[in-house]
Homo-oligomer: A and B are copies of this chain.
Amino acid sequence: MSNAAATTAPHRDLAFTRRLDAAAAETEQLLDRLLAVEPLDGELARPRRLLDAMRHASLGGGKRLRPFLTIETAALFKAPRERALMAGAAIECVHCYSLIHDDLPAMDDDELRRGRPTVHKAFDEATAILAGDSLLTFAFDVLSRPDTHPDAAVRIALVAGLARAAGLGGMAGGQMLDLAAEGRFTFNIQLTEADIVILQAMKTGALIRFSCVAGAILGGAPPSAQDAIGHYGAAIGQAFQIADDLLDVEGDPATLGKSTGKDAAHGKATLVDMLGPDSAHARLDALVQEAEAALAPFGAEAATLRAAARFIAERRA
């Protein structure tokens, strides 16, 4: 495999880094254009303070990992890049909404995000709640547009998948379980390893998984290929969370642009905490292998997705 050298240093894989950066730059441009000042048909106005808060939360930063996964999965199935960018931008809006609401004082109470003040700090709590609500709603607006895909059946499949990944049984439900695991509502919560795996599969895994599946949907992939991509997405989603939890223990706040050690301070339930760092690193390696195995049917064309799995497991920020 041509990318074998990347296994030890994926962040030095120049071809991969260039693709990741290009996807981030194009996503930034598209979000900037989608969140323009001019109201669209059916919008009576775009209130400036709300728009500014949405832009604060969604522009000017982030690796754009989720759009990147949509773009690269779509490329594997020969879907046009501009459609993948639309779907990726919608998913990024959902990701950014979740960060705004998770950072609120009533939730994780964070003041810093990507090295900048969180939305309720830069604006105020009411504006932050509404900006989150509006970004979530906007994601479905973007998915519903013919620019995302000319076939309504494809667009509605994306809507269905995103709603399920983000809602009660996915991301929002996972955040609820995470707050419960902190012991907010009852004392002496004892989570098993299986509980934590489900919690994380919901909280962060479901949206990362859907970011991959969305590309397969856009590319009209057959069910077996969609399943394979779903397995890949679930594995890297789990890897992402373990890597994130390891960074909270081992990472450098300056590089991360956010404070560390917060999980322990909040009593967050993590696999790193339960398994210890060494076993967590071993689990990460196993998940990368699982992700790579899921990509086996696609051969050399899935090289970038393979590199993405390693990048996610080994990232330092």
Chain A residues with a Cβ under 8 A of chain B: 39-40, 42-47, 49-51, 54, 97, 101, 104, 106-107, 124-127, 129-130, 132-134, 136-138, 140-141, 143-145, 151-153, 155-156, 159-170, 172-173, 175-177, 179-180, 184-185, 198, 201-202, 206
Please give, as numbers and ranges, the residues of chain B lying within 8 Å of A169 by CB-CB distance. Answer: 39-40, 42-46
Q: Report Cα–Cα, A144/B163, bound state, in Å.
A: 9
What residue of chain B has the Cβ atom nearest to residue A97's Cβ? B133
Decide: A42 and B172 in contact? CB cutoff 8 A.
Answer: no
Copies in the complex: 2
With A and B bound together, what is the CA distance between A45 and B173 in angstroms?
8
List the B residue with the shortest CB-CB distance to A101: B129
Complex CA–CA separation, A137 to B169 (angstroms): 11
A75 → chain B, closest Cβ, in Å? 24
Question: CA of A206 to CA of B137 in the docked complex: distance in angstroms?
Answer: 14
Across-interface contacts of A162 in B (CB, < 8 A): 140
**Contact residue among B133, B140, B153 (Cβ-Cβ distance under 8 Å from A133):** B133
Is B106 a contact of A46 with CB atoms below 8 Å?
no
A49 neighbours in B (Cβ, 8 Å): 176, 180, 185
Decide: A47 and B160 in contact? CB cutoff 8 A: no
Beta-carbon nearest neighbor of A125 in chain B: B106
Q: For the complex, what is the distance from the CA of A141 to the CA of B162, rounded to whole Å?
A: 8
**What B residues does A159 contact at CB under 8 A?**
140, 143-144, 155-156, 159
Is A167's CB under 8 angstroms from B152's CB? no
B173–A160 CB distance below 8 A: no
Are A129 and B130 in contact, CB atoms less than 8 angstroms apart?
no
Alpha-carbon gap, A97 to B133, bound state (A): 10
Q: How far is the CA of A127 from the CA of B173 in the complex (A)?
A: 10
With A44-B206, A202-B45 as given contacts, are A156 and B144 in contact (CB-CB < 8 Å)? yes
Contacts A44-B198, A50-B173, A155-B159 known; list 19 others, CB within 8 Å.
Answer: A42-B161, A42-B170, A43-B168, A43-B173, A44-B201, A47-B180, A49-B185, A50-B172, A101-B133, A107-B126, A127-B179, A129-B129, A130-B176, A134-B173, A141-B160, A143-B159, A145-B160, A155-B156, A159-B159
A sample of 12 cross-chain residue pairs with beta-carbon separation below 8 angstroms, ordered by A number, consists of: A50-B172, A97-B133, A101-B129, A104-B129, A107-B129, A124-B185, A133-B136, A133-B172, A140-B140, A140-B159, A141-B164, A152-B152
